[in-house]
Amino acid sequence: MKYIDFKQPGGPEVLFCNEGPSPTVGEDEVLIKVSAAGVNGPDIMQRRGLYPPPPGASPVLGLEVAGEIEAVGRGVDDWQPGERVCALVPGGGYAELVKTKAAHCLPLPDALTLVQAASLPETFFTVWSNLFDRARLKAGETLLVHGGSGGIGVSAIQLARSQGVTVYVTAGSAEKCQACRELGADAAINYREEDFVERIKVLTQGKGVDVILDIVGGDYINRNLKSLALEGRLVTIAFSAGHKAEISIAPIMLKRLTWTGSTLRPQSDEAKAAIAASLRSHVWPLIANGSIRPVIHQTFPLHQVEQAHRLMESSAHIGKILLTL
């Protein structure tokens, strides 16, 4: 099969098309003929040598795909060859064939193409588990999402709004802020032009927000703590501005805050299966009726993976970037 390879960590120019043996499907696994694969932040980190795959995972980039099931392993009863699915994969998505646990697959949502469906798994698994399982976000609360126009952001806006949450976001341009509002954000803050801490104070009449979903880290951490309400929860899922910061623990104590975070890829197969089941029950019906929709900025054929990574690193996109086969 064809797949995307790189010999040493580096910039997008290290990526190239290679050929190698197809994966062998194992127990409780399915083999998927890939139609499209999502490009995500962890792919960029892995290419740079900063996010190695967990033990046993494919070293090939790519954590989400959509396609047709080619084969099923022993113990798989829920899926059959020929069925169309989208899936979270532990690696190997930038390829013609990829294997994953059967329990990490979801049916192709009604009215979506395979390309559209490929934009869903990585960000929806991440956002749902962090906001609703980890942060216990519920109807009537307020949420601040940093990076509202990226793949995580557009998923978080729609998922939170679908659950009756008031959503505020930060984004880096007027165009991105407008796109976030069109997706359902109640307010969008251009972080290049105004201080989100002060704006949140105004928007919440000084109370602060109940939950913050942060992909920035670094100097945003203290500012996030200032922006949280009593009993607020800060969820860190990435750190584009750095993984270190000097903070005061006083706000955490005085406001009884919770600071948590997670990464998706190293979690157990059982944990990922549980998230998939929650999405199928709570979110897939909303996608089917059009309440939640994929937001795709651009697609690239597999051999143009370098251009796709350059676009991802530029942060010029709104929504997801996909590779097609």
Buried b (16+ CB within 10 A) or exposed e, 62-78: bbbbbbbbbbbbeebee
Residues 276 and 200 occupy one common structural domain: no
Residues 269 and 257 in one domain: no
Degrees, nearest 5: CA angle 146-43-39: 75
CATH number at 102 reads 3.90.180.10
Q: Are 72 and 32 in contact (CB under 8 A)?
A: no
Which stretches in the chain have pLDDT values below 50?
none
For residue 147, the domain's CATH number is: 3.40.50.720
The tokens for 324 are 């097609």
Domain extent at residue 82: 2-120+265-324
Q: Are 303 and 288 in the same domain?
A: yes
Final residue belonging to a domain, choices 208, 227, 261:
261
Q: Give residue 272's pLDDT.
A: 98
pTM over 0.85: yes
CA angle 214, 117, 143 (to 5 degrees): 25
Q: For strands 187-190 and 209-214, give the pairing.
A: unpaired
Measured between alpha carbons, how far is 233 from 107 in angstroms, rounded to an integer? 32
- Regarding whether 128 and 257 lie in a shared domain, the answer is yes
**Same-domain check for residues 111 and 136:** no
Q: Is the same domain home to 59 and 161?
A: no
Query: pLDDT digits over 226-248, tens only?
Result: 999 999 999 999 998 899 999 99
Query: What was the pLDDT predicted at 141?
Result: 98
Domain boundary among 261, 276, 310: 261
For residue 111, what pLDDT is reported?
Answer: 86
234: Cβ–Cβ under 8 A, 6 or more apart, which residues?
211, 212, 214, 221, 224, 225, 228, 257, 258, 259, 260
> Residues 198, 315: one domain?
no
Q: Are residues 236 and 292 both part of a single domain? A: no
Count the domains in the chain.
2
